Amino acid sequence: MVRALYGIDVVLRIIGDDEEMDQVEEIVGKLIAELADELHAEHARLAQLRETNGISTTPRYTNPKQITVHISSPQLAQYTALIEELDRLMTVMDTLWLTGVLTNKQRADGAYQWRTRVLRTGREIIEIERRARASAEKRGKGEELAEVEEPVVAREVSDEVSDGGYFEDEADTGSRDDAES
């Protein structure tokens, strides 16, 4: 996702046709916005159901994962916001399930449906980026593309560990690396 959205917002914009990239950005922006609206609407619906049932508690998770995302493009920030909204939706859904408002099946089906929709949107965006990249390569921009993209996609390797004992990368999954570097 990071590579695809950075490619759309930055790399392909540098070497691509402005009109074509405007269209690509518009399509991707629309995909993200539509899913964001649907997630917000479902979150509001479930929050209302929670309120209607007089539920004011929220579950505390025993092993929550924290992920650091290094935002490198505007649309990556928007996609990250989708994932954060999905997380909030899952919390409300878990609240309703743990209090007996949702059945096991309703909770499982709802969680599966929304995760799948976010992943499907991500796959669509990756495919759009691949098509835009292929179009740039067909126009003889492959070498230029490699030059512009190489410094961004290359992963920096460092012997030093950050303050928290984690290796920094495009996405820090919060897991410690016990291996020697």
Domain layout of the chain by residue ranges: 2-56+71-141
Q: Would you call 46 exposed, middle or buried from its count of C-beta atoms within 10 A (0-12, 13-18, 19+)?
A: buried
pLDDT one-digit tens code per residue, 24-71: 889 999 999 999 999 999 999 999 999 999 999 999 888 888 888 778
**Between residues 134 and 89, the one the model is more confident about:** 89
131 or 78: which carries more pLDDT confidence?
78
Query: 81 pLDDT exceeds 50?
Result: yes
Q: Which residues contact 108 (CB under 8 A, 6 or more apart)?
A: none
DSSP letter for each residue of 95-108:
HHHHTTSS-HHHHH
Check pLDDT > 80 for residue 11.
Answer: no
The domain 2-56+71-141 is placed in CATH, from the list 1.10.150, 1.10.132, 3.30.420, 2.60.40, at 1.10.132
> Residue 64: its pLDDT value, please?
85
Average pLDDT, the chain: 78
Q: For 88-116, what is the mean pLDDT?
A: 96
Note the pLDDT of residue 142.
66
pLDDT of 20 higher than 50: yes
